[in-house]
């Protein structure tokens, strides 16, 4: 391995410890078949959204949709998102790196909730192109507190974008099937086999008392990540998650014969992943990357 490289396709499965943006700039372009990220949802700023309806510029909602003028879109997003500027200044360059790092047949899954998903779609439409939008997956669950003043929010949104809308990898036949909701309406053979998932996924959260629970607050279910990995990567492909958290992306990748790079700098996340991956063979490499050791981006 190059003495200055933090990763090459010959590397072992690894967890890189550090700020994800400078680390992403060190990874070679077009290296990852699948990128899944579950960034912070920015849920603490809901009350500041009321000004959004009054600040659209005439015709502004279409800027960037037909071209790739990313700077122009950024200005538009800044104009109407008002108090969300810091959040998008944080996420925007990381999404730019995700586009660069995807293989030509690769897919990005961006996991958010209702607070920010509409802004993300505008941004990704400009960055990837509207024709590269593949799906918005609704992950629906039924657990937790219930509001009596509105319909309780019990779903997350996962935006799916491909690098090339004409040549991307998608294998629906390899995905874990679901039981039919009305098995009596299909043949016994179909009921036994189950059905292919749609863009609405009914899946419970990680049980607070279940075996899968790692103790990490925002842990996502292994079943959700298995489905993503099965559909959008093949055996031996490299997968990247640069908001790794509890490491579920890596667990799903290893279980399905894929290779992975995870990035996080939260000490709690690193501790959980060290414990979770302790028995993996071959061993998962944990590397703490000092900013001073990084090379200037190419």
Q: What is the pLDDT of residues 272-295, one digit of tens each?
A: 999 999 999 999 999 998 887 887
% of the chain beyond a pLDDT of 70: 83
Angstrom distance (rounded) from CA 129 to CA 123: 9
User: What is the residue-wise DSSP string for 234-281?
Assistant: -TT-EEEESS-TT-HHHHHHHHTT-EEEEEE--HHHHHHHHHHTTT-S
Task: Calculate ∠ Cα 198-199-200, nearest 5°.
Answer: 90
Model pLDDT, residue 95:
96
Contact 137, 150 (CB under 8 A): no
Spatial distance between the Cα atoms of 257 and 26, rounded to a whole number of angstroms: 25
pTM value is: 0.84
Higher-scoring residue by pLDDT: 147, 30: 30
How far is residue 178's CA from residue 101's CA, in Å, rounded to a whole number? 32
What pLDDT is recorded for position 49?
Answer: 27
Render pLDDT for 136-164 as a digit per residue (tens, 0 to 9): 999 999 877 778 899 988 999 999 999 99
**Mean of the per-residue pLDDT values for the chain?**
84
Q: Which pair of structure tokens corresponds to residue 270?
A: 């690193």
pLDDT value, residue 220? 94
Burial (CB < 10 A; 0-12, 13-18, 19+), residue 116, is buried
- CA 201 to chain CA centroid, Å, is 16
- Is the pLDDT score of 66 beyond 50? no
């Amino acid at each position: 391995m190059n003495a200055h490289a933090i990763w090459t396709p010959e590397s072992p499965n690894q967890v890189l410890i550090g700020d994800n943006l400078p680390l992403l700039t060190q990874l070679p372009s077009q290296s990852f078949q699948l990128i899944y990220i579950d960034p912070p949802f920015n849920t603490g700023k809901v009350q500041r959204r009321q000004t959004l309806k009054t600040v659209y510029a005439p015709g502004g909602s279409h800027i960037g949709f037909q071209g790739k003028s990313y700077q122009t879109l950024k200005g538009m997003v800044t104009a109407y998102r008002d108090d969300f500027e810091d959040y998008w200044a944080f996420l925007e360059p990381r999404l730019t790196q995700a586009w660069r790092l995807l293989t030509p047949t690769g897919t990005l899954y961006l996991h958010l909730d209702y607070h920010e998903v509409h802004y993300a779609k505008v941004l990704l439409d400009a960055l990837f192109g509207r024709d590269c939008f593949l799906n918005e997956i609704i992950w629906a669950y039924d657990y937790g507190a219930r509001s009596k003043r509105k319909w309780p929010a019990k779903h997350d949104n996962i935006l799916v974008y491909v690098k090339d809308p004409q040549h991307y990898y998608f294998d629906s036949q390899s995905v874990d099937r679901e039981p039919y909701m009305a098995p009596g309406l299909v043949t016994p053979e179909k009921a036994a086999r189950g059905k292919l998932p749609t863009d609405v996924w009914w899946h419970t959260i990680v049980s607070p008392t279940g075996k899968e629970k790692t103790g990490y607050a925002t842990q996502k279910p292994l079943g959700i990540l298995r489905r993503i990995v099965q559909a959008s990567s093949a055996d031996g492909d490299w997968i990247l998650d640069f908001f790794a958290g509890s490491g579920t992306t890596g667990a799903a990748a290893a279980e399905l014969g894929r290779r992975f790079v995870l990035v996080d700098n939260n000490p709690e996340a690193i501790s959980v992943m060290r414990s979770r991956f302790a028995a993996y063979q071959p061993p998962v490499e944990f590397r703490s990357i000092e900013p001073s050791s990084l090379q200037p981006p190419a």
